[in-house]
């Protein structure tokens, strides 16, 4: 059984945003051992209709789960939190994206890993770098170097908000 480091990005701009992110952190523990949870950031919405600001975070999990199983978990958690897939890049209770799974590359109809736009999204890269200062995005390089070329003004640390790491139990 191969264990990989999976990176899951969380975002919410509807309802109790912090509780939505926490549900994603808690669910990530069912896929393996959570090794890092980023701080919470408030971010300007990117694309889509006019909408409220997002809260974003990243969870890093050591897991034996396949990328497709992580995607199924993400969709299950999103549905449980009332996610409705309406307007493209529109408001959402919870968005849980599979960003990377070790050095795996997946290009399927339902799933692309690494996430095809992660390298250009400060709302993913800033929390990821905070959770894992040595992070590398397969095919694109070090996360800190990727951020050097991006405008990060729309990503603001919310030091008043914290996510609880799940209990340290291994379920991989």
Confidence at 87, pLDDT banded by 50, 70, 90: low
Mean pLDDT of the chain: 90
Exactly one of 53, 95, 151, 162 is catalytic; name it: 95
CB atoms inside a 10 Å sphere around CB 116: 10
Exactly one of 50, 92, 153, 162 is catalytic; name it: 92
Determine the average pLDDT of the residues in 129-141. Answer: 97
Is residue 95 part of the annotated active site? The answer reads yes
Q: What is the pLDDT of residue 88?
A: 57
Determine the average pLDDT of the residues in 89-117. Answer: 90
Full set of structural domains in the chain with CATH? 4-157 (3.30.70.560)
Q: What is the pLDDT of residue 170?
A: 43
Interatomic CA distance for residues 95 and 121, integer angstroms: 14
| pLDDT tens digit sequence for 1-10 | 788 999 999 9
Q: What is the pLDDT of residue 11?
A: 94
Is residue 92 part of the annotated active site? The answer reads yes
Percent of the residues in the chain that have a pLDDT greater than 90, as a whole number:
78
| pLDDT tens digit sequence for 4-39 | 999 999 999 999 999 999 999 999 999 999 999 999
Q: What is the pLDDT of residue 92?
A: 83
Contact by Cβ (8 Å): 166, 26: yes
Is residue 5 part of the annotated active site? The answer reads no
DSSP codes of every residue in 31-99 = GSEEEEEPPPEEE---SSSS-PPEEEEEEEEEE---HHHHHHHHHHHHHHTT----STT---S-EEEEE
* Angle ∠(87,90,91) on CA atoms, nearest 5: 130
Exactly one of 83, 103, 132, 134 is catalytic; name it: 83
Exactly one of 16, 26, 85, 97 is catalytic; name it: 97
Is residue 26 part of the annotated active site? The answer reads no
Give the predicted TM-score (pTM) of the model: 0.92
Confidence at 50, pLDDT banded by 50, 70, 90: confident
- Tally DSSP H helices, then E strands, for the chain: 4, 10
Interatomic CA distance for residues 13 and 10, integer angstroms: 11
Q: Residue 64: is it exposed, middle or buried by C-beta count within 10 angstroms (0-12/13-18/19+)?
A: middle
Confidence at 169, pLDDT banded by 50, 70, 90: very low
């Amino acid at each position: 059984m191969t264990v990989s480091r999976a990176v899951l990005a969380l975002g919410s701009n509807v309802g109790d945003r912090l509780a939505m992110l926490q549900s994603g952190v808690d669910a990530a523990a069912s896929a393996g051992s959570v090794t890092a949870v980023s701080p919470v950031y408030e971010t300007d919405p990117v694309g889509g209709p006019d909408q409220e600001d997002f809260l974003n975070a990243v969870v890093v999990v050591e897991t034996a789960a396949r990328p497709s199983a992580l995607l199924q978990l993400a969709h299950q958690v999103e549905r449980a939190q009332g996610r409705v897939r309406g307007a493209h890049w529109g408001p959402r209770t919870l968005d849980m994206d599979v960003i990377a799974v070790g050095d795996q590359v997946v290009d399927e109809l339902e799933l692309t890993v690494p996430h095809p736009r992660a390298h250009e999204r400060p709302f993913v890269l800033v929390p990821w770098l905070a959770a894992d200062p040595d992070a590398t995005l397969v095919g694109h390089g070090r996360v800190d170097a990727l951020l050097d070329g991006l405008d990060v003004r729309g990503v603001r640390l919310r030091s008043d908000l914290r996510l609880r790491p799940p209990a340290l139990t291994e379920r991989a």
